[in-house]
């Protein structure tokens, strides 16, 4: 059994070299409807290679984001948030809460430094006064720009998430919300450690950790 962040070319190559019965991935391999799989280089072709190698694939994403001890909780824990609460549930679509908000002690600059120390400076974007005190911090793993208003309404002074566009950042500034965007995959990394631990505990088997084969697209 193996665990990966995403079924990349590198991950598929590794399981071809050392096959496993089951590969657990956080990011889905197939986002779009697929009617055929062919050799080549694409999500479909990676499916073909897994099938040919005899590797089963299990994907967990939003369910693990919202689960106790999942990606959202792991990100909140990384920042040492206290009195953590959920936010961002969408009753219309039935999507669970993948946002977390809690008490934080420090400045925006401290949050910046924590991110750089853990994930490196590549791709990091910060908006807001780095000297400003942050008492309530909101976090959303992955792509969380849609949670800007919800974070502000929940009382957050800063939001850590990925994939925030220019216009969403302007909207956050208008609401008095600072944004720290280390990138999509960086915000999910604490969750990948949690996923590997959880799979190991549940399976009670040796688990190959392939989460270091980072799917980060920007360097």
- The answer on 80 and 168 residing in a single domain is yes
DSSP assignment string, 94-114 = TBPP-EEEEEEEEEHHHHHHH
Residue 219 lies in a domain: no
pLDDT in tens, 13-60: 999 999 999 999 999 999 888 877 878 888 889 999 999 999 999 999
Classify residue 121: in a domain, yes or no.
Answer: yes
CB 108 within 8 A of CB 129: yes
Kindly state whether residues 96 and 141 are assigned to the same domain. yes
**Is residue 130 very low, low, confident or very high in pLDDT (cuts 50, 70, 90)?**
very high
For residues 104 and 179, membership in a common domain is answered with yes
Residues 72 and 85 in one domain: yes
48 and 95 together in one domain = no
Could you tell me the residue range of the domain that residue 13 belongs to?
2-59+189-209
What DSSP line would sit under 110-179, residue for residue?
HHHHHHHHHH-STT-EEES-TTSEEEEEEEEEEE-GGGHHHHHHTT-SEEEEE---HHHHHHHHHTT-EE
In a domain, 125, yes or no: yes
How many residues does the structure list for the chain? 219
Is 126 found in the same domain as 86?
A: yes
- Does the global pTM surpass 0.75? yes
Is residue 216 situated within a structural domain?
A: no
Q: Structural domain tally of the chain?
A: 2
């Amino acid at each position: 059994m193996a665990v990966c962040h995403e079924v990349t070319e590198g991950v598929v190559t590794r399981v071809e070299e050392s096959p496993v019965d089951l590969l657990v991935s956080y990011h889905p391999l197939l986002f779009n409807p697929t009617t055929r799989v062919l050799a080549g280089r694409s999500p479909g072709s990676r499916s073909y290679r897994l099938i040919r190698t005899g590797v089963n694939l299990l994907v967990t994403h939003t369910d693990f984001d919202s689960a106790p001890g999942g990606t959202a909780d792991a990100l909140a824990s990384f920042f040492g948030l206290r009195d953590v609460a959920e936010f961002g549930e969408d009753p219309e679509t039935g999507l669970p809460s993948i946002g977390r908000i809690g008490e934080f002690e420090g400045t925006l600059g401290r949050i910046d430094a924590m991110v750089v120390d853990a994930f490196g400076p590549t791709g990091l974007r910060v908006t807001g006064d780095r000297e400003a005190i942050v008492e309530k911090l909101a976090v959303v793993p992955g792509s969380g720009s849609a949670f800007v208003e919800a974070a502000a309404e929940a009382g957050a002074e800063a939001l850590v998430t990925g994939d925030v566009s220019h216009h969403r950042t302007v909207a956050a500034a208008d609401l008095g919300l600072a944004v720290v965007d280390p990138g999509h995959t960086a915000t999910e990394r604490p969750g990948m450690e949690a996923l590997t631990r959880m799979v190991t505990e549940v399976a009670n088997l040796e688990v190959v950790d392939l989460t270091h084969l980072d799917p980060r697209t920007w360097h």
